[in-house]
Chains A and B, each alone.
Chain A
Amino acid sequence: MKAIVCMKQVPDTESRITINPEKTGVEQGDFSYIIGPYDEYAIEAALQLKEAAGEGEVVLLSVGDPSIKSTLQKGMAMGADRSVLIEVDSYNGDALTTARLLAAQLKTMEYDIIFFGKQAPDDNNAQVGPMVGQLLGLPTVTAIAALEVQEGKAVVEREVEGGREVYEVTLPALLTTEKGLNEPRYPSLKGIMQAKRKPVDLVSGEVAAATTEQLTWSYPPSRAEGKIVGEGTAAVPELVRLLKEEAKVL
């Protein structure tokens, strides 16, 4: 079982976001970086398939600058065998640009299955996976919450409003992962040591012009300072009154 996981390095979800004085982006300086939380489900799914098959390979693939190496190592510490880093400069993270870079590289690689996270928490795009699927002409299912692979086929489920859609696709296929699919493992000490010796191959990519342009960044309007209505059950009548008269929601 050969699985490729496309993985994005993102700022830790606890990070404070500071918009730069020009309002053209955020200050990068003080972030600590992690594997995208949805990408961890993708890595775990790939590792489980390889383990179940008893043979194969899990390869991590990422677009970015060389600083991503340390985040790729975290994925390899979980158990991935090696990484490929598509190095680019002057790259603004445009989803279609990323998808084209990944698709071009994937065409040169061997795989039975490609995993993506459902969404990167920084850009909130949820696009790169299905775009790559379309570019490569692969059966693609997004935001999967259940997966079963047998004899060249995958049966997957994705959550939709009010239910679950079930798909059966033939491999090779591309899947993007949702929370609930599995519990990502923590790297073991041995895994962390081994990861240092696992290869990260650098390849270069051509960046095409982006089709969207970011104008200005801002902070969302802050909520008005809340008020404490009171303590315990004694505060309930006043809360009900406020909900009725002020908020008009009852």
Chain B
Amino acid sequence: MSSILIYLESHDGKLKSNAAEVATAGRKLATAQQKELVAVVIGEVATDELGNWGISRAIRLSGGNLADYSGDVWAAELAQLVSDQQADTVLMMASSQGRDLSPRLGALTGVTVIADVISLENQDGTTVGLRPVFANKAQVLVRPTGELAIFTLRPKAFTPEVVEAVATTVESRSAAALDALAIVRELAVAAGAKIDLTEADVIVSGGRGMGGSEKYDILEQLAEKLGGVVGASRAAVDAGWRPHSDQVGQTGKTVAPTLYIACGISGAIQHLAGMSSSRFIVAINKDPEAPIFKVADYGIVGNLFEVVPALNSAI
């Protein structure tokens, strides 16, 4: 029987929150196609959550040269598992790690990754994926033509579902000691270790209308009240007000939070490319003609320096 292999990311011995997204997508496919679902974790990772997502079998790979992340070594180990487990489908996140790891696995196994899909569908036992292209201006349904398909899932596009808990058998395997060509020497954790934009449920973004880095206080305050993080347009990043890692858009991050609040952002096509699949969009802009209002569920025309503080006191 062929199987579906899902690779679950972890950090510091714990599964990342995005693991639930891959797990849910994997379980649904395995059920629809009557295939075995095999979860893979790398390192000494706690696996007690897996049962809640309906995963009954997991493989924990460790030892060898797996302690620190190395794209080439990890991909080689996964390629080995793909063949051992007779996997015909591999799922992982289109996160920084997944986007680094999956193409290497693709090259090793001889397939192009069907990358950054927003949905997966079972067509007579074959999995097809829908992927946004041209900066979300179009989307294309892609089908594998060979024996193996690797998909990466766009963060936040798959809603995690908890099911009736099952027991999980975890098999430990030790890896061969492969020499790494490139290995992480150090992991510098960002100051404040805030949630990454791609993982946030609420994003409060500020653009050129902010007028300076010190003005972001009011956005930080709003983000904190809503349990979210602050993002930015490219104009704000290029002005040096915010770090590059805060940029949302075509050359920044693609985000899909539940709530995106755009403050002093006009809504250029390259900005929309990164945030238009947010669930709810709020725009605060003094120009009623600003294109951001075309995609905003709720717009307020006005001076953000008055509206945002008022919003801060109202919630």
Contacts and interface: CB of A to CB of B under 8 A. Distances in A.
A180 B97 CA distance: 19
Contacts of B102: 127
A240 B69 CA distance: 44
A123 interface: yes
B298 A217 contact: no
Given A13-B135, A126-B103, A180-B244, A249 B185 contact: no
A124 B131 contact: yes
Interface residues of B, number: 97
B298 A239 contact: yes
SS of A interface (majority):
mixed
From A14, A135, A143, A161, residue with most partner B Cβ within 10 Å: A161
A212 B252 contact: no
A141 B311 CA distance: 43
A161 B95 contact: yes
Given A162-B189, A167-B183, A126 B115 contact: yes
B288 interface: yes
Interface residues of A, number: 88
A180 B247 CA distance: 10
A124 B189 contact: no
A11 B193 contact: no
Interface in A116-173: 121-135, 137-143, 145, 157-169, 173
A227 B103 contact: no
Interface stretch (A65-73, A105-113, A192-200, A228-236): A228-236
The 6 closest A-B pairs by CB, nearest first: A180-B244, A161-B196, A134-B107, A232-B302, A127-B103, A139-B181
Given A163-B189, A213-B144, A247-B298, 4 more contacts: A165-B69, A211-B146, A219-B139, A247-B297
8 contacts: A157-B188, A163-B189, A169-B181, A216-B141, A218-B138, A231-B301, A233-B302, A239-B298
